[in-house]
Amino acid sequence: MSVELFITRIVLGLRRFHQWLVAQLAFGFLNTLKIFPADPAIRFADRLMRWIGPKTRRHKLMLTNLRNAYAGKSDAELETIALASWGHMGRLAAEYVFLDRLFDFDPENPQSGRIEVSGIPLFLDLRNNPRPFIVFTAHTGNFELLPVAGAAFGLEVTVLFRPPNNPYIAEKVFDFRKERMGKLVPSHAGSSFALARQLEAGGGVGVLVDQKFLRGASTTFFGLDVKTNPLVAKLTRQFNCEVYPARCIRLPGNRYRLEIEPKLDLPRTTTGALDVNATAQMLNDKVQSWVEQYPEQWLWYHDRWNIKRTL
């Protein structure tokens, strides 16, 4: 064995060990939370991340994103939003542990639990009148609850998701999601074909549209240039399917509102074809309207504008 190959194996082994160790620490913390009731555990995770977050390198990126998006706000206002955003990230992690207990929505008795749903007639129409459709959302509130809600209504949706970079965490997260959210398609080179097959069969697809993207449609988000994945627009153009916005809003007292909005009237070119770039911009504008309403509930630590390398 050459020295170079030996060193490469050592480096890869150390990297795998580091990933394994991080996964064990993360799951150890989450399993510890299971010992406690959901509400105090979620509040503790909120406070913990408000303390840890500002000490990480991502805090600088978060504040830069906020400053670029809200040029008119003071540093104190931006810091307040940033701290609250870290808190919501802590809540998101803790809510994974208690997701089965948190999602207590009963379609037969919709006012009985901590989950409220806006747009129930749309859920029922999509279920009772099968047709190809796309539901899009963003990293707001607990966005993981949306596919769980679809399953509760008997609405089968194939969900596109990006696995965590850590393979040990990715495996656990995939198994957890698969049990509660129906069909899952990991984001990779062939994922668009899997979604296309679902739409061709008359089914539904769920997509997050606010992720960092290096290529694609040239759009703006909060007035700043950004690349947006044109996947939703291209699938819609190909299958002439309906597109619905949906989001989760965290409410006081560890309660949640899930909203599905009426289908969008998508822009078209002068020839009648779907305008891919204008549709991508429309999706960004919808997400921006959500973020502006509850800025602390969006994950500002994402490098949406691809500026991390400049910091």
Strand boundaries in 194-306, DSSP class E: 204-208, 217-221, 224-228, 242-251, 255-260
pLDDT means per 10 residues in the chain (311 residues)? Answer: 60 66 72 83 93 93 95 94 95 84 75 85 90 93 86 81 63 60 64 85 90 87 93 91 95 92 93 91 97 96 83 69
The two structure tokens encoding residue 82: 């940033």
Query: Can you give the residue ranges of every domain in the chain?
Result: 3-97, 104-297
What's the confidence (pLDDT) of residue 215?
A: 82
Q: In what order do the strands lie in the sheet with 133-137?
A: 115-118, 255-260, 242-251, 133-137, 204-208, 157-161, 184-186
Query: Distance between CA atoms of 180 and 178, rounded to whole angstroms?
Result: 6
Buried b / exposed e across 194-208, counting CB within 10 Å, b at 16+?
A: bbbebbeeebbbbbb
Residues recorded for the chain: 311
What's the confidence (pLDDT) of residue 83?
A: 96
CA distances from 261 to 21, 33, 157, 268, 301 (A): 42, 34, 16, 21, 27
CA distances from 66 to 57, 70, 209 (A): 15, 6, 19
Q: Which pTM value belongs to this model?
A: 0.87
What's the confidence (pLDDT) of residue 121?
A: 92
SS3 state at 125: helix
Kindly state the DSSP code that residue 202 receives in the 8-state scheme.
Answer: T
What's the confidence (pLDDT) of residue 180?
A: 56
Could you give the count of Cα atoms lying within 13 Å of 289 in the half-sphere of its Cβ?
9
Owner of token pair 């993207």: 213
The two structure tokens encoding residue 287: 């997400």
Provide the 10 A C-beta neighbour count for residue 88.
Answer: 24
Owner of token pair 């809540």: 91
DSSP 10-38: HHHHHHHHHHHHHHHHHHHHHHHHTTS-H
- The amino acid sitting at 120 is I
Residues whose CB falls within 8 Å of the CB of residue 235, separated by 6 or more in sequence, listed in order: 134, 192, 195, 196, 199, 205, 241
